[in-house]
């Protein structure tokens, strides 16, 4: 049972454009939503995270938008750069601890 | 601080054998989690250890086991290997119960 659905599976964006990745969840007990970035041959690295008591969080070019009523959240990458080309995973945690439920991943390619 | 270190990075085993993977967390981190990453199933939670106690467990068969030592270093073991166990096994450590995980580069297991 996939508890966090992520789309699209792959995404190609032109340099300077906006990359948008969407996730939806079913478990209302989830209370922490991090995004991880993974480069080939590396482990995932925490990019940005949000709690459901806020609707948006911005860190540099990365923004999370959160819609609690729709049980959806999304990652926006502004001014996308070739160095952003990686696989992005949304995730969710319920009730503290470190048991992450991951989305299926989005492979982003930023072209010149 | 040094990052999360996993050994070995690559290994090849045959069906029926067993394997032990090792993880050294970031200094001061007491939580160690293990994840399996495959192209088909994505990132799946195996288990989490905190202060030498298993705190959470994923939906994997009993062939998958782990432990944590007093210095927070962790090992996971897979017995009676199957072809489907071929995967990247990722270890992550955390200082807090917030889902802010720091991943190692993983141990890539190939089962022939």
8 Å CB contact of A100 and B35: yes
Report whether pLDDT(A64) > 90: yes
Residues 6+ apart with CB under 8 A from B102: A45, A46, B3, B4, B25, B26, B29, B92, B93, B94
Mean per-residue pLDDT, A43-67:
95
- Rounded Cα–Cα distance for residues A27 and A4 (Å): 9
Task: Pick the range with the lowest mean pLDDT from A15-24, A90-99, B49-58.
Answer: A90-99
A35 interfaces chain B, CB cutoff of 8 Å: no
- The CA distance from B38 to the nearest CA of chain A, in Å, is 10
- Residue A1: the pLDDT is 53
pLDDT at B68: 97
State the pLDDT at residue B98.
74
Averaged pLDDT for residues A56-76: 96
Over chain B (112 residues), the average pLDDT of each successive run of 10 is: 93 98 96 95 94 92 97 97 98 86 96 98
Among candidate residues A107, A102, A81, the one with its CA nearest the CA of residue A34: A102
CB contacts under 8 A, A 52-111 vs B, are: 89, 91, 93, 96-105
Determine the pLDDT at residue A2.
62
Tell me the chain B residues in contact with residue A97 when contact means C-beta distances shorter than 8 Å: 48, 55-56, 97, 99
Q: From the CA of B4, how many Å to the nearest CA of chain A?
A: 10
Q: How far apart are CA A83 and CA A94, in angstroms?
A: 32
**CB nearest to B99's CB, from A41, A49, A105:** A49
pLDDT for residue B99: 79
What pLDDT is recorded for position A95? 80
For A41, the closest chain B residue by CA position comes to: B105
Question: Residue A98 — pLDDT band, cuts 50, 70, 90?
Answer: confident
Q: Which residue of B has its CA nearest to A51?
A: B98
Question: Is A96 a residue whose pLDDT tops 80?
Answer: no
């Amino acid at each position: 049972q996939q508890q966090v659905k992520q789309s699209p599976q792959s995404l190609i964006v032109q340099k300077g454009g906006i990359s948008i990745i969407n996730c939806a969840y079913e478990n209302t007990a989830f209370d922490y939503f991090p995004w991880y970035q993974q480069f080939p041959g590396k482990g995932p690295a925490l990019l940005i995270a949000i709690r459901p008591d806020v609707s948006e969080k911005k860190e540099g070019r990365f923004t999370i938008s959160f819609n609690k009523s729709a049980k959806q959240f999304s990652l926006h990458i502004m001014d996308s750069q070739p160095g952003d080309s990686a696989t992005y995973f949304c995730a969710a945690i319920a009730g503290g601890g470190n048991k992450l439920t991951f989305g299926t991943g989005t492979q982003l390619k930023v072209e010149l | 601080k040094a990052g999360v270190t996993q050994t070995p990075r690559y290994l090849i085993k045959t069906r029926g054998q067993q394997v032990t993977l090792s993880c050294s967390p970031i200094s001061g981190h007491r939580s160690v989690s293990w994840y399996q990453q495959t192209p088909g199933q994505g990132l799946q939670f195996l288990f989490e250890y905190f202060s030498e106690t298993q705190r959470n467990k994923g939906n994997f068969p009993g062939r998958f086991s782990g432990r944590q030592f007093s210095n927070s270093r962790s090992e996971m073991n897979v017995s009676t290997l199957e072809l489907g166990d071929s995967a990247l096994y990722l270890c992550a450590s955390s200082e807090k119960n917030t889902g802010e995980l720091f991943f190692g580069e993983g141990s890539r297991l190939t089962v022939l």
